[in-house]
Every structure is written in structure tokens, then in C-alpha cells.
Structure 1
Amino acid sequence: MANVAELAAAALTHGGGILRLAPTWVPRSFLQPGRRLKLHPADYYALGAHRGGIDERWFASTTPAANEGATPDEGLSYCVHDGQRFTLQDAVGELGAEMVGEAIWGEFGRWPVYSKFFDNMGPIPHHMHQNAEQAKLVGQEGKPESYYFPPQLNAIGNNFPYTFMGLEPGTSKQDVIDCLARWDDGDNGILDLSKAYRLKPGTGWLIPPCVLHAPGSLVTYEPQWGSDVFGMYQSLVEG
């Protein structure tokens, strides 16, 4: 195979400055696919039932998916050119500023963001993404993210088009600790401390790090920082 720098440069030239990437599909073992991502019905469990159904499509990703049992390149975007393929991660590493621009390369030395569609039949468990200081303790980066609910992909809302967000005023640290202590008792009751908001296609919001959220069942476009770090606070969903 030609070296990545040559392949990436040729692919950029061929695309008129646009690097065309192959679809990147990611499963989540704790969720049920919403089946609105235009994936062939036979392919939702293409990686095996033990890996879970494919419910996410990642775009322009140089971030590996933090999934148990994942291959090292799960979540990474690939470019296919002239019968050969290479990761966007490797292309950025080889071409640097030529690929991502002087400002981004100078500050981060990589492509530091990616985006995705996620599409689930029901809600995602109440969870949060650590900030930079917290994530650094486990060798990761913090993760702010934002959501947009595209009307074109949300003709139906599936099972629960509402998102629980944050904690209700008056919730104490001990209340949360008590919920976590009930993790193996079934539903640990963390949602009793939160409030749900109805999702409206054509709208969206920003989720800073450290904010608990349980995203609802609309197809969601999610630009985010290049990290897959998270902490789960809800023990059981739709159980």
C-alpha cells in the first residue's frame, strides 16, 4: 500500500479539497437501535448480539469508541481511495495543518472533534461526561457536546421523546450517593431526582461536562469533543 501521506493527498486532490469518508457504524450494548439511520435491517447486529445493536453513525472521527470488546479502530473514520483505505486519524497525523488548518493543528496537534447521529428505540441512561480535570485522571479528555434533532429523520419519535436533564433543586449529594448504592437493586431511582423535557424536532441544546442527562428517543445529531468518556448514574432503563 502507498504511504498514508501520499494516499491522503491524492484523495484530497481527487475530491477537490474534500476528503470523502466511509460510513462509521458504532454499536452500544446497553441500547436498542431505533432503526432510522437507513442501515439495512439485516445489519443492525452485524457485529454480533453480544456487542449490541448499531445505533450510531460517527462522522469525521479520530476518536476510538470506548466499547467493551471493540476492535482498536472502532469509531475511527476511514477514507477509501484508489482501492485502498486509511484512517482519518492517520491522515491527520501525516498531513497535519494541511488537513485541519494551522490554527487547529497548532493548538491541538490533531483533529479534536467529531459528530454523530445516534438513534435509539428508547432513552439513554442518565449519565454525564467528565470535565477535562476529571477525565485526565483516567487518561481521557473531557467532553462537552451539543444536540440537534433533525426533522428529516424524526418522522416518528419512538418510545420516549423526552430527555431527563440535571438534578432537581434541593437534591443533595447524599441523595445521589444513595441512588448509586442501590445499583444492583434494579431501578436505582436516579430519575426521581431529575426532570424530563419534551424534545422538539428542529431544536437542540448544548450539554456542558458534568451535567447529568438521559437523552430521549429522537434521532439526534451530536457535535462533540473528541472523547468517548462518560459515567453512568442510572442502573436500569426500560427494564
Structure 2
Amino acid sequence: MSMKSVKNLKTVNKKVRNLVESALEESGGLLRLAPCWVPRSFLQPGKRLKLHPDDLYAFGLNRGGIDERWFASTTPAANENRTPDEGLSYVVAGRSRFTLQAAVAECGAELIGRKIWNKYKRWPVYSKFFDNMGPIPHHMHQSQKQARLVGQEGKPESYYFPPQHNNVGNNFPYTFMGLELGTTKAQVRKCLENWNKGDNGILDLSRAYRLKPGTGWLIGPCILHAPGSLCTYEPQWGSDVFGMYQSLVEGREVPWSLLVKDMPKSKHKDLDFIVDQLDWEANVDPKFKDNHYLEPVPVADTRSEGYVDRWIVYGKVHDEQLFTAKELTVEPGAKCTIKDNGAYGLITVQGKGKMNKLNLDCPKLIRFHELTEDEVFCTEDAAKAGVTFENTSDVEPLVVLRYFGPEVNPEAPGLGAYRKNKF
């Protein structure tokens, strides 16, 4: 039987502990993950996810194009008419598959570490590739307090623009963020009043920043942002809440329902409530870029040893470190052992090699149901013991991105560290 497709795997929905423990033993503390594709009905795919062009609408045209791939996710996608497992990553173990969500539910601290398990009882973060042809609506993600009003969790997030997925910038490689200094709540309220008149003009109150591959941003909740058209790696909190504040994008209507979907039903027409969902001080921050922009910071100067590990997401949101991320580059023929403080999700963006006992291989093209060797979940025990990475290519670097859970990396740099921490 071919193991190339998820169709050839048996889906196991419960009692997965034995499968998990066997997989960890065989791999050296790692779990192989299958690609997790997510469509968005209101966006146009950017075609840089390495998904086969014939499969961009594999969920059906009515569901929209696939513009996201989620990594090590136990968070359901908040899409209308979603499939039951949409947004959930699957572990591949032999000829079986089961969700990472089920694995964490049964094995808890063995996978994600006792500290995170005891506090959250789940893997509370995830990451994704977010890939669109053009810009998306100016929107915000609710805070924890706001999201609790509708039984959800808030969502801070971060961005990194991997050069390997940005050979083209597509239609608008700029992101509007926040609001211009001096903007008033009355002006934003007027934009909401004008929703059905066409373009409600919310972008007239904001400022666009040019996006640069190899850099990133850290964006807290309640901050307006209209992501541009670079393919983005996004470590973030495990939630899919949002509110769209822009009524028209590139001629496409944004329904009012996408503005209020994660607000109490009694407030769906309360314009003052909707405006007050915004963190006003953060949106009109005169030092917005200084307080949100990221560039990679080397963990240590190990170039002479044939590898470089760099922080690509760091900093705190409201004095909390909710997630961090690193980019490891291993030169052709080189080998290194990397110790980390906690569990992580990993995606390979270039090259081939090995990670403990698992193969790593960055695919050139992926069919919708195909399995890959580019994605892995690393347990906390394996991370702390040290994971050995080996580049088996003679010509190409091996590059992997890995993201971590909350408060895992207290030694991570603070915002602005890139200014003084370059080789």
C-alpha cells in the first residue's frame, strides 16, 4: 500500500497513547505531521504554499481558495461550513493518523511539558503560512477579556516573511497597521456608519509599512492591521477570532457579519461598542514601528561550526511572552545538536536532511492529500535533551522554522534588540 496520501491512512479518533509512544520511540521524541490546509472564502490565494495549482479550491469553490497552511495546530479554524477537523493538524504514525489535539489530550505533559499542560490543558499556540495575492481587510483580533464574552480566546500574533516563500511579492507587499496619530473615535465610527456606501474609508485613517522578506512584526490584540501580500509565517495564540473593520477590499465586499462575528449578538449594531473594541493607545502609538517591528537576532555566533540559529519572533505582549520563534540554517554537509527549553512545531522551508531519526525534505509541489516530510512536532523532553540536525545535501542549506509556547524562552531578546545584535 502506498503511504503517499492521507487517504491510505487509518484515522484513529481515541486511545492514541500507544501510537504516540511508539512514534516517539522510533523518531527520537518527534511526531511527524501531515499538511493542514485551510481555505478562506473572502480571500484570493497567493500561490506560494507549494500546493498544486489544481488543488487551490480542493474544499470547493463555495468554501474559497486555500491560502493558509497551519502548523502543529490543535486550534479549529473558525470558518462557516467548515469540515469537522478543519484547522487541526494530524500526526502520521505508521499506517495511522490522529489529530495532534487528541495526542495532547491523552499524553499532555509528555508532549508539551508539565508547565504548559498544567496551566492551559492544551497546546495553546499555533503557527501558519498566510498567503494571499493581495491585501486583506483592516481588522483586529479580540483580547482575552473581549473574546470571553463569546466563549472564545483572544489572539495576539506575530509575522515573519521567509525569503524562501517570497520569490514574488504579489499585488500589495505593504501592510496598514494601527491608526494615524490624531485619529478620533468619531472618525472610525463614521467609517462604520458608511459601511454600505462602498469603501468605508478606514484605510484613510491608517499608515502602510513596506514589507521586507527576512523581517517581521509583533502585533498585540485590538490593533488594526491589514496584512499585505507577502507570504507570512505567523506564530500566534490558539484562537481564530477577528473583526473586519474595512467594508471593501480590491473591489470585494466584506460583509458586516465578518466585523461582528466574535462580538456579543446584542452589540452587533452598537457602533460605540465596536469602536471601543480597539486598543486606542496602541493604535495611535507615535512610535508604532519601534514597538512592533522585528529583525532576526542571532542566538550565538556559530557560523564557524556550519550553522546559525536566529530569533525571528521575540518580545512580549502586555508584559507576557506568549510565543517565540527561531530560524535554524544548517550549511551543506554540516551537523549540529540544538537544545531548546520547550516543545515546538517545526516546518522546513529549504533543503533536506535529518532531525534525530526523521527525514526532513522541503517539497517543491504538494497535492492536497499528499503526505510530506517537512513538518514535525518536537516534545519538550526531546527539545531539552537536544535535537540533532544534519544537512544531507552537498549544495543547499537546510532551513527550518520552529515556534514555541508561552513563557518558554525567558532569555529571548526584547523588542528592538536587532539594532545592536547583528553579526
Q: TM-score normalized by structure 1?
A: 0.98
Cα distance between partner residues in 2 of 1:47 and 1:71? 9
**1:104-123 correspondence runs (5 A):** 104-123=116-135
SS in 1 for 2:88: coil
Cα distance between partner residues in 2 of 1:237 and 1:10? 49
Tell me the equivalent position of 1:164: 176
Tell me the equivalent position of 1:144: 156
Decide which structure has the larger Cα Rg and report it: 2
CA contact (8 A) 2:157 2:220 kept: yes
SS in 1 for 2:116: helix
Tell me the equivalent position of 2:52: 40
Q: Which moved more, 1:39-48 or 1:10-19?
A: 10-19
Quote the offset at 1:108 in angstroms: 1.0
Quote the offset at 1:36 in angstroms: 0.7
Moved beyond 6 Å, runs of 4+: none
Select which of 74, 88, 109 maps to 1:62.
74
CA contact (8 A) 2:38 2:86 kept: yes
Q: Which runs of 5+ in 1 are unaligned?
A: none
Deviations 1:18-73 (CA, angstroms, capped at 9, x unpaired):
11110000001111000011001100001111100000000000000001110121
Tell me the equivalent position of 1:126: 138
Cα distance between partner residues in 2 of 1:76 and 1:14? 23
Tell me the equivalent position of 2:196: 184
Cα distance between partner residues in 2 of 1:198 and 1:224? 22
Cα distance between partner residues in 2 of 1:26 and 1:182? 31
Cα distance between partner residues in 2 of 1:235 and 1:50? 20
SS in 2 for 1:191: helix
Tell me the equivalent position of 2:28: 16
SS in 2 for 1:19: strand
Return the letter of the residue paired with 2:119: E
CA contact (8 A) 2:31 2:92 kept: no
SS in 2 for 1:32: coil
- Give the count of matched residue pairs: 239
Cα distance between partner residues in 2 of 1:177 and 1:69? 31
Quote the offset at 1:10 in angstroms: 1.6
Cα distance between partner residues in 1 of 2:26 and 2:63? 36
CA contact (8 A) 2:15 2:106 kept: no
RCO comparison, higher one (Cα < 8 Å, 6+): 1
Q: Which moved more, 1:227-236 or 1:6-15?
A: 6-15
Tell me the equivalent position of 2:64: 52
Q: CA RMSD in A?
A: 1.0
Tell me the equivalent position of 1:25: 37
Q: TM-score normalized by structure 2?
A: 0.56
Cα distance between partner residues in 2 of 1:234 and 1:86? 38
